Amino acid sequence: MSESDPAIRVRKPDWLRVRAPTSTGFAETRKLMRRLNLNTVCEEAACPNIGECWTQKHATVMILGDTCTRACAFCNVKTGMPKAVDLLEPVHVAEAAGELGLEHIVITSVDRDDLPDGGASQFVKVIRELRARAPKTTIEILTPDFRNKAEDAVRAIVEARPDVYNHNLETVPRLYPTIRPGARYYHSLRLLETVKKLDPTVFTKSGVMVGLGEQRLELHQVMDDMRSADIDFLTIGQYLQPTPRHAKVEEFVTPDTFRAYASIAKAKGFLLVASSPLTRSSYHAGADFERLRAARMAKVK
Ligand code: SF4
């Protein structure tokens, strides 16, 4: 029996246990996504919060297909050669926002290194359709790093004016070669800095997973780097191993340590910090967006 055999995988602590999704709201959200031919990161990434989020009709749509051109060691999304871009996707996303009655929507995508613009124009089309068909819905986008084409891609997306621009750093720089081998830490950091320089009114957001073997001081350094890039909102959550083929969980970080990280991050000047075992980029994103706006108003005053 190998160490990665599911039979001997480490038992999750109680604070990570969630109920199986069975509600009517969950079933309705799933049906709508199937009907509109939309993928969600909630399903593809095997998110533990899917029962809670979908019951409330909060889903994070994953555009540009279900196949990623990268193969990160933490991510459950399948890797390979993606299919052609779905031209109806922007309309379908806007329809989903309307039918779900969303006040706030989070849109993410797979990495599309095969496309000349990395998929940026599809983000722009989705934002435009949402503004046209669901004008009251606020828009948060969670993009890939657009490596080797970031300048034009980021400029185009920022000009479309999302309310929140999120790009996750995911982990500390030392672990990039094993956890996020196709990406570069400082490239990702610069991307977020560029967003803020292009439009200081857009909220910027980034997240990290803990439990991958990072040291506390390394995480503190990531927080400092993020503040240097003027990032407004930090999310910190526990990494969970989606399958035995993925990177192992090195540690289940305790709720007390998450609270300690939150205190340190707040002291470093983030407008908002979400730090708990089940925190994910898009977890409670709508409520957090309201808190972000309130925090900015309070700061301005
Ligand atoms: S936390 Fe985000 S990815 Fe997970 S189920 Fe909720 S909306 Fe989906």
Query: How confident is the model over 107-149, as pLDDT tens digits?
Result: 999 999 999 999 999 999 999 999 999 999 999 999 999 999 9
Strand partners, 62: 39, 108
CB 60 less than 6 A from any atom of ligand 1: yes
Does residue 97 have a pLDDT over 60? Answer: yes
CB 280 less than 6 A from any atom of ligand 1: yes
Q: What is the pTM of this model?
A: 0.94
Q: Which of 30, 106, 112, 33 is nearest to 67 (CA)?
A: 112
Q: How confident is the model at residue 86 (pLDDT cuts 50, 70, 90)?
A: very high
Does residue 4 have a pLDDT over 80? Answer: no
* CATH 3.40.50.300 at 6-300, yes or no: no
Q: If you average pLDDT over every residue of the chain, what do you get? A: 94
Does residue 231 have a pLDDT over 70? Answer: yes
CB 47 less than 6 A from any atom of ligand 1: yes
Q: Which of 108, 170, 178, 175 is nearest to 139 (CA)?
A: 108
277: CA distance to ligand 1 center in Å?
13
Does residue 8 have a pLDDT over 60? Answer: no
Model confidence pLDDT, tens digit, residues 146-196 = 999 999 999 999 999 999 999 999 999 999 999 999 999 999 999 999 999
- Dist CA 221 CA 225 (whole Å): 6
Q: What is the pLDDT of residue 1?
A: 35
Q: Was 206 annotated as part of a binding site?
A: no
49: CA distance to ligand 1 center in Å?
6
One-letter identity of residue 262: A
Does residue 256 have a pLDDT over 80? Answer: yes
Does residue 22 have a pLDDT over 90? Answer: no
Average pLDDT over residues 31-58: 95
**What ligand 1 atom has the least distance to the C-alpha of 282?**
2
Q: Give, for ligand 1, the residue of 26, 30, 33, 49 to mutate: max count of ligand atoms closer than 8 Å to Cβ.
A: 49
Q: What is the pLDDT of residue 246?
A: 96
**What ligand 1 atom has the least distance to the C-alpha of 280?**
1
2: CA distance to ligand 1 center in Å?
31
Q: Was 4 annotated as part of a binding site?
A: no
CB 39 less than 6 A from any atom of ligand 1: no
Average pLDDT over residues 274-294: 97
**What ligand 1 atom has the least distance to the C-alpha of 106?**
7
Give percent of the chain with pLDDT exceeding 90: 93
72: CA distance to ligand 1 center in Å?
19
Q: What is the pLDDT of residue 20?
A: 82
Does residue 5 have a pLDDT over 70? Answer: no
Average pLDDT over residues 29-55: 95
Q: What is the pLDDT of residue 9?
A: 58
Q: How confident is the model at residue 2 (pLDDT cuts 50, 70, 90)?
A: very low
Q: What is the pLDDT of residue 79?
A: 95
Q: Give, for ligand 1, the residue of 39, 50, 164 to mutate: max count of ligand atoms closer than 8 Å to Cβ.
A: 50
Average pLDDT over residues 198-207: 98
**Token output for 120:** 């940026």
Domains of the chain by residue range:
6-300
Q: What is the 3-state secondary structure (H, E, C) of 135-189?
A: CCCEEEEECCCCCCCHHHHHHHHHHCCCCEEECCCECCHHHHHHHCCCCCHHHHH
